[in-house]
A and B are shown apart, each in its own frame.
Chain A
Amino acid sequence: MAQMQIQPAIEVAHLSKHFGQGSARVNALVDITMTVYPGQVIGLMGPSGSGKTTLLHCIACILEPSSGTITLDGDVVYEQKWLKSDLRRLRLDKIGFIFQYPNLLPFLDGSDNVSIVLDLAGFKPAAARARAGELLDYLEVGSRKHAFPRQLSGGEAQRVAIARALANRPKIILADEPTAPLDSPRARIVMDLLRRIATEQNAAIVVVTHDEMILDRFDHIYQLRDGRLEGEPTGVGLGTAPAEHPLANP
């Protein structure tokens, strides 16, 4: 019996990005090829200026590469040029983003900070609120859903931000140093949470990090140096299959 092939959530092939021209040209990314499957948690590591964030921005469709191909959830979105006219809609539908700092909208409470994404996606207000409530409960900050960002602790705010990233059931979650402002125990809690989300929601997660204390939370770790991937990815291999979880992707 033929084994069912799992479709990658992210496929990056021969991706390059340079800034400037002539003698001022800087090669930020050179011939990057990587694949991330649903349920995997991938780490992107490297020294400052190595191109980690540039790669993340290219995958998030906010920075146009110079060449190569990007395929998200089986959909080719970039091949020498953007193939989608509405990249914001693409982000809204397919990608959840977790910032280094929570970046919650200060004038919305915890629940609204999550449901705004659903509201933008066209959900009815009641359905959006219900989904936000579920997610906040899932991330154990349900009791703080009416608190405004300034009333939340750093850890609580980061969980609300994670809930926002998950709100629209994205297939891809990109995180830019999500543990940087946290101490080690909290950083591990956040990584455990991302690990759990990858497993339970079958999402592909790419995390840019400098934090060596959380390396054991990744399935693979890609090392970047001067815009190039260094050697083969390290790690244990393909992530676990999605679990039967009520919040999992349908």
Chain B
Amino acid sequence: MNLAYRDIKFNLLRFILTNFGLSLLLGVVIVITGVYGGMIDDALRQARAAHADLWIVEAGTNGPFAEASRIPGDTRELVSRVYGVARAGAVTYQTVQTRLNGKSLPLFLVGFEPGRPGGPHKLVAGREIMRSHYEFIVDVSAGLALGEVVSLGTHGHDFTVVGLMRNELTASGDPVGYITLQDAQALQFELSPPAERRQLASGGGVQGNDQINAVIAKVSPNVPLSEVASALTRWKHLTTLSQVQQETLLSKDVIDKSRKQQLLIMVLLIIVSAVIIALIVYTLTMDKVRSIATLKFVGAPDRTIVGLIVQQALSMGIFGYFIGLGLVVAFQPYFPRRLVLDFQSVSMVFFITVGICLAASTLGIRLALKVDPTEALASSG
């Protein structure tokens, strides 16, 4: 006879209400895990989206994400000529802010050369950029529709949305957009008309804007990466980073503090969950002291009593976990941040929950094992 099941069935409403509360708590743990995963994924997404083998950036910098990097626009042509480089593309990265429907819209803009590495890799609607100017591909989270026109940059150029992507966000959750390299250079390096007039008046001349932040290189499969990297490093004004180095920089250095903060919140939530589950199990055991005493009196072994408590704690945790997960999945599209709930992280939370339940039930077990069978003789109804 499964006593835990009978007790749950008898007190079903209490079990449901307790589980609902617990599921909200475990749901928050799952959300934080998802936010943590999403933050890392978003941070790496731009570096991964480029499908680069090598990143060529300004000498002595960890660009273009961790540090500012500025190199001449013709660097891409130099890199293309190096033995072993199959393809290369120049890119720029910048943050801009525009307004949409009266609200400010921060965007992370990538300037790329259509047909070369560095462009958007998967569209969910629309088409690739076909014209050299004023076409725009953006993540759906920006709230822009195909054909919609948005003004970008100090010159107020109007860009038309021609393609939409999904899940292309920065580590801070801002949508990513792609424009041509020429447009990006104009936005990044061109001075506003008053600033340009002031520049001319001071005798500085008109500054060229053929500059880029990095070159992305794809290496031929039959040439060792290290060989190409060492050839490129001979140019003193350039630094070469492999894709692995770039990802390590992003995940360990760029988002390190936010990652630790998220991790701390997650650990605190797990501790809070453990305390709450322990208190629930303890209270449930307290409610059953007389029943436990009676069971001991009639001869129930300790394993029956321990089984009752552990099974109840586990069923509470497991039901709470799955209800929590269900709620998170159902409401995932409405979260302001992207949640990445991969199997590994979701399983980790599950096993942590099971561990918490087992650990939390020790408090209840301790109480139950201490119950004197003579408590069953206490003179209350």
Contact = CB atoms under 8 A, between A and B. Distances in A.
Contact of B376 (A99, A115, A125): A99
Per DSSP, are chain B's interface residues mostly helix, strand or loop, or mixed? helix
Interface string A87-98: 011111100010
Contact of B374 (A62, A115, A116, A117): A62
A82 interface: no
Nearest to A95: B299
B374 A97 contact: no
A72 to B, nearest CB: 14
Contacts of A120: 298-301, 304
A33 interface: no
B251 interface: no
A103 B376 contact: yes
A121 B298 CA distance: 10
Interface in B1-41: 1, 3, 6-7, 9-11
Contact of A105 (B295, B296, B380): B295
A91 B10 contact: no
Nearest to A92: B299
B1 A115 contact: yes
A100 B295 contact: no
B377 A89 contact: no
Nearest to B381: A101
A103 B300 contact: no
A97 B301 contact: no
A117 B301 contact: no
A164 B377 CA distance: 16
Contacts of A108: 3, 6, 10
Nearest to B11: A107
B290 interface: yes
A193 B374 CA distance: 25
Contact of A116 (B1, B10, B373, B377): B1
Interface string B102-144: 0000000000000000000000000000000000000000000
Size range of the chain A interface in the assembly: 20 to 34
Contacts of B296: 88
Given A101-B379, A148-B10, A91 B297 contact: yes
Nearest to A103: B294
Nearest to A96: B298
Given A88-B300, A120-B301, A105 B373 contact: no
Interface in B333-381: 373-374, 376-377, 379-381
B291 interface: yes
Q: Which of B1, B11, B374 gathers most chain A CB within 10 Å?
A: B1
Contacts of A176: 377
A47 interface: no
Of the listed residues B290, B291, B294, B300, the one surrounded by the most CB atoms of chain A closer than 10 A to its CB is B294
B297 A62 contact: yes
A119 B1 contact: yes
A106 B377 contact: no
Contacts of B295: 105, 116
A127 interface: no
A84 to B, nearest CB: 12
A99 B373 CA distance: 12
Contacts of B10: 106-108, 148
Given A99-B376, A100-B377, A125-B1, A105 B299 contact: no
6 contacts: A57-B374, A91-B299, A99-B376, A107-B11, A112-B6, A116-B295
* Shortest 8 CB-CB contacts between residues of A and residues of B: A92-B299, A107-B10, A107-B7, A119-B1, A91-B299, A88-B299, A103-B294, A105-B291
